[in-house]
């Protein structure tokens, strides 16, 4: 099976690494040459780190890198399983899959790594919508085991099961999910971030205090450290999307503090500054 990953940002690079490590020929695409180059260096860094930690043998690094190819040419994007990890915009995702449909077979699986956009809405305007499925990885994709397999109204049950089996094959722990706003994890976890931000807005304590308290009671990361890891902009985008999908239910209200961070370009670890400095 040939894998194509569209989008070479943090998530796309991590997803590509996982497939390559599992022995799949994997093509990584992005519009920007600089993004592709950064992804290649990032994957190399992750692999070297795994060797340092004793989790991977040096020869496995070479084997993984040999399975990876990088491109900025859209016409190259032909495969058996194509997964996108691009901007969280419905129109952009529909346009991407429509263009991909014109140069791939009807049996090519179209997977979206969307965090919150309904799969049904994406698939509705894509040729052969039964082959569109949500395959939602979590950041960092090369470490986090959980993957949500989301079936839209059109998604073939057999295709969803094939994706479920594929995730097990690459060492992930898949779970089937319905096409509901936020799916499972983002719906449940959203309040971890939203309530943390509300407490900050109300000046209950500072963000460091909130993180410290949550970590002391057993959470691996407080909400603000976690937002910085995920990407403050990405987190804000998901919250905004869910706010609209749930008919502006107040419990999903985006935070003005988080929006200000996004407007300032303070996107977390990837930008060097979020709620913390890096």
186 is catalytic: yes
Count Cβ atoms within 10 A of the Cβ of residue 203 and give its class: 0-12 exposed, 13-18 middle, 19 or more buried: exposed
240 included as an active-site residue: no
Q: Dihedral sign, CA of 141, 142, 148, 150?
A: positive
Active-site position among 46, 104, 113, 115: 115
Active site annotation includes 88: no
Q: How many Cα atoms occupy the beta-carbon half-sphere of 200 within 13 Å? A: 21
Assess whether 106 carries a catalytic annotation.
no
Name the catalytic one among 116, 151, 186, 241.
Answer: 186
Active-site residue (options: 46, 113, 142, 148): 148
Instruction: Considering the candidates 136, 142, 207, 267, report the single residue annotated as catalytic.
Output: 136
What backbone torsions phi and psi does residue 114 show, to the nearest 5 degrees? -55, 145
Residues assigned a catalytic role = 115, 136, 148, 186
């Amino acid at each position: 099976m040939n894998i194509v990953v569209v989008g070479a940002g943090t998530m796309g690079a991590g997803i590509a690494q996982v497939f390559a490590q599992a022995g799949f020929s994997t093509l990584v695409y992005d519009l920007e040459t600089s993004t592709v180059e950064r992804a290649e260096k990032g994957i190399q860094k992750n692999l070297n780190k795994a060797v340092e930690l004793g989790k991977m043998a040096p020869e496995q690094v070479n084997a993984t890198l040999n399975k990876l190819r990088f491109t900025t040419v859209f016409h190259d994007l032909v495969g058996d399983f194509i997964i996108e990890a691009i901007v969280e915009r419905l129109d952009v995702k529909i346009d991407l899959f429509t263009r991909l449909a014109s140069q791939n077979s009807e049996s090519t699986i179209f997977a979206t790594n969307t965090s919150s956009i309904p799969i049904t809405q994406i698939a509705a305007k894509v040729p052969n919508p039964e082959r569109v499925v949500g395959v939602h990885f979590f950041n960092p994709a090369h470490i986090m085991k959980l993957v949500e397999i989301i079936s839209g109204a059109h998604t073939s049950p057999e295709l969803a099961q094939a994706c479920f089996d594929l995730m097990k094959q690459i060492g992930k722990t898949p779970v089937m999910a319905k096409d509901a706003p936020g799916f499972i994890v983002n719906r449940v976890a959203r309040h971890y971030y939203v309530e943390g931000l509300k407490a900050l807005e109300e000046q209950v304590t500072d963000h460091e205090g909130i993180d410290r308290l949550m970590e002391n009671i057993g959470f691996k990361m407080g909400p603000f450290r976690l937002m910085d890891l995920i990407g403050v902009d990405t987190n804000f985008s998901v919250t905004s999307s869910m706010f609209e999908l749930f008919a502006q239910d107040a419990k999903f209200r985006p935070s003005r503090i988080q929006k200000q961070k996004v407007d300032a370009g303070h996107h977390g670890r990837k930008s060097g500054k979020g709620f913390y400095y890096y």
